[in-house]
Amino acid sequence: MTDLARFNLPSGQQMAYRHLAGTAPTIVFLPGYMSDMAGGKAQAVMEWAQRRGRGCLLLDYTGCGQSDGAFADGSLSRWRDEVVALIVHLGIESVQLVGSSMGGWLMLLVAEALGDRAKALIGIASAPDFTEWGFSQSQRIALAAGRTIFEDNPYGPEPTPTHARFWSDGERNKRLAAGVAFDGPVRLLHGLEDADVPWEISLRLARALRSADVQVHLIKDGDHRLSRESDIALLLRELADLEG
């Protein structure tokens, strides 16, 4: 595994990352909400890239993992700008973005910002526009009023917060209706047993993408995480297929 490095952001905060030099395009893994680069899928992608001689970049958004900052200050726009700034700083000329859950929303924004540098996308249980479909009316009213809401967390003991800053920024970055101006190949993986992000969201995203080269893979017994050995094997097969 590559050594942990830190990037000094214009804010003065440091962003933690691991960068493996290799053949292009560099695979950039974008974690999900409140997740970081220590997750199983991110680690599997890095190990696969190392075996293949591929470039790979793992990172923690500010407020997450080993990066500086408070999670309450995070937003899609802020994290998009951080990711793009890091890619530019490292001199990476072409990328293949892999986004998990919220990272599947963020990869759309990063791809738009990078333009021709973004060559392909792989979404894992992608959750674009979840500020629109992921909350009840009462929750949306509370968030619009500037309040933080908390929900049960099936993956840990602490409740999951959604801060008004994140929600309002997400409302400004919705893409399912507006469309996604990306023309490269896209692969979307989604479990039919996903209790957090309806699998139909990947179908909506497929329609929203301008690219004609979009494939959706539905895993009948797959959950939201898609982190089983068989799920990760499918992800790595998709990465390999996109090499050709």
Catalytic residues: 101, 194, 224
Nearest to 32 by CA among 180, 116, 153, 148: 153
Nearest to 93 by CA among 181, 172, 22, 152: 22
* Integer Cα distance of 3 and 51 in angstroms: 17
Q: Which residues contact 38 (CB under 8 A, 6 or more apart)?
A: 65
Q: For residue 68, give the 3-state DSSP assignment.
A: coil
Q: Taking each helix axis from N to C terminus, what angle separates 40-52 and 229-243, rounded to the nearest 10 degrees? A: 40
CB atoms within 10 A of CB 196: 17
